[in-house]
Amino acid sequence: MTSLGAWARTGAAVARRPRLWRPAVVQVRRLAPPRWWARRPFLPVPDAAWMRFRLETQYGDASHPPVPADVVTWLEWTAAENSGPSSGTRR
């Protein structure tokens, strides 16, 4: 699918932004398949089919590596969305 190096650069981009650590953990928990610890690679990674779909819809190519700036932008957006009023209204 994508290179380990691309994921490492993406992880490093998030690691440099402590304000995104909590949103990143929330998203990992949301996207990890149930009982992820019982299946290889024994990491809370999203389903491969879902990841291919997201990369294809984002970049037009399922094998395109994630762009760290795009992941940072997405995490900033999710943090902003989750910090709003809990009444279910959109800003």
pLDDT digits (tens, 9 = 90+) for 28-72: 999 999 999 998 889 898 888 999 999 999 999 999 999 999 999
Per the CB < 8 A criterion, the answer to whether 89 and 81 are in contact is no
Whether residue 84 is contained in a domain is answered as no
What does the pLDDT read at residue 90?
52
Share of the chain above pLDDT 90, in %: 68
What does the pLDDT read at residue 1?
46
- Its domain, for residue 34, covers 4-78
Whether residue 89 is contained in a domain is answered as no
Whether residue 41 is contained in a domain is answered as yes
Average pLDDT over every residue of 11-31:
94
Whether residue 53 is contained in a domain is answered as yes
Distances (CA, A) of 2 to 14, 20, 26, 79: 18, 23, 23, 26
Whether residue 45 is contained in a domain is answered as yes
Q: Is the pLDDT of residue 3 over 90?
A: no
What is the count of structural domains for the chain? 1
